[in-house]
A and B are shown apart, each in its own frame.
Chain A
Amino acid sequence: MAQQSVWIVIPAYNESRVIARVVGELVQCKASYNIVVVDDGSTDGTNSAVRSLPVHILTHPENLGQGAAIATGIEYALLQKADIVVTFDADGQMRREDIDKLLAKLSEGFDVVLGSRFLDRRPEGMPLVRKFLLRLAVVFTRITSGLRITDVHNGFRAFTADAVRKIVITQNQMAHASEILSEIARNNLKYCEVPVGIRYTDYSKAKGQSIFNFFNILYELLTRGKK
């Protein structure tokens, strides 16, 4: 089988403190991934922080939201004839070793492989409130889309090009994570979950979503406009 081109899409908004380290680690991987950093209108020098690295840099003129940034990265990757698209967070929570796990599972014939923090073990150091809300979101997803998954707001995903072409992301902000899941359900894509490790550092906890964002996501989903 010919070498598949793997594109890693990293949405980044004001991540200048960590982005160079996170992307630098990915660049040093033995495999030759193509890396796309989507700078979502950052104002803190995120863009120049990655300019010395051999990566593709896309820049939104204005801040649009993580969903929009991921959609931009995916569209670019597809234009560059990507075979596989991986979404990866810029804040250093995800481990690059897990990319191989997702890719291995994808090659078993799945259309989409989703990372899960809860599949086989308890996540270390996760705040209790967040755990509860994520569980609530799991139930919500099961009811609305029928997907049986354990972790609905994990940004670690791998798609085949054919699959990702069918997924339409209209939610510019955080609700895109739920939208991707309902798109998976709508298109009857073959999906599975793979356990991934996650690091809750002080930085990522501060950067991550507050509990109140749960209501924002719900609101975004309920008031979603037509495409």
Chain B
Amino acid sequence: MILAQLLENFDKDVSAHTTIWIKVILVVLLVIILRAFLVQRQLLIAKRLSALGMFVVLLLLVIYPDVSNSLAHAVGVGRGVDLLFYMSNLFLLLLIVGQWRRLNILNSSITRLSRSIAIQTARKPADNKQTDDK
């Protein structure tokens, strides 16, 4: 049933030439972003896969915008845009928490690094006397 709806929507959208360009632009941008994800060698396979999954979902939403509407109705949200808004908010918050954790870890490793440098390069009282004599 959904498939039939998709095909119907596709026909409708293709016939509207004014909306096709924004779709082309969005799809091109999505491909560029996906490529940026995939060329990162150190990225874990799980992250690559989730990026790929996200790409497919976004691609579908761009090509068939009405899908988000029917999805929203299915979960009891008024409009597809609203659903996307909630999801992207949630996603961004998750991202921020993740970055925050990373930042904390980074901070403590910088602290440990600085500490070991400070201790290795310590000036003892004898060193100070030597500079006095000069």
Structural contact, B128 and A60, CB atoms closer than 8 A: no
Structural contact, A68 and B111, CB atoms closer than 8 A: yes
Docked Cα-Cα span, A52 to B127, in Å, equals: 9
Chain A residues with CB under 8 Å of B107's CB are 172, 225
Chain A residues with CB under 8 Å of B124's CB are 56
Docked Cα-Cα span, A72 to B117, in Å, equals: 10
Structural contact, B128 and A64, CB atoms closer than 8 A: no
Docked Cα-Cα span, A57 to B119, in Å, equals: 9
* Given A53-B128, A54-B129, A57-B128; A64-B111 close (CB under 8 Å): yes
Structural contact, A68 and B119, CB atoms closer than 8 A: no
Docked Cα-Cα span, A69 to B122, in Å, equals: 13
**Which range contains the number of B residues in contact with the other chain?**
20 to 34
A55 interfacial by beta-carbon distance below 8 Å: yes
Q: Considering residues B107, B108, B114, B124, which has the most beta carbons from chain A within 10 angstroms of its beta carbon?
A: B114
Structural contact, A60 and B118, CB atoms closer than 8 A: yes
A20 interfacial by beta-carbon distance below 8 Å: no
Structural contact, B101 and A225, CB atoms closer than 8 A: yes
> 1/0 per position for A46-78, CB-CB distance to B under 8 A?
000001111111111110100010011001100
Chain A residues with CB under 8 Å of B128's CB are 51-55, 57
* Given A51-B131, A52-B128, A170-B108; A57-B114 close (CB under 8 Å): no
A-B contact count (CB 8 A): 63
Partner of A59 from B118, B129, B132 at Cβ < 8 Å: B118
Structural contact, A60 and B114, CB atoms closer than 8 A: yes
Smallest CB–CB gap between B99 and chain A, Å?
Answer: 13
Chain A residues with CB under 8 Å of B115's CB are 60, 68, 71-72, 75
B17 interfacial by beta-carbon distance below 8 Å: no
Interface residues of A in 85-137 (CB under 8 A from B): none
* Given A64-B114, A72-B115, A172-B111; A58-B125 close (CB under 8 Å): no
Subset of 22 A-B contacts with CB under 8 Å: A51-B128, A52-B128, A52-B132, A53-B128, A54-B125, A54-B129, A56-B122, A56-B123, A57-B122, A57-B123, A60-B115, A60-B118, A61-B117, A62-B110, A64-B110, A68-B111, A71-B115, A72-B119, A75-B119, A76-B122, A79-B119, A225-B105
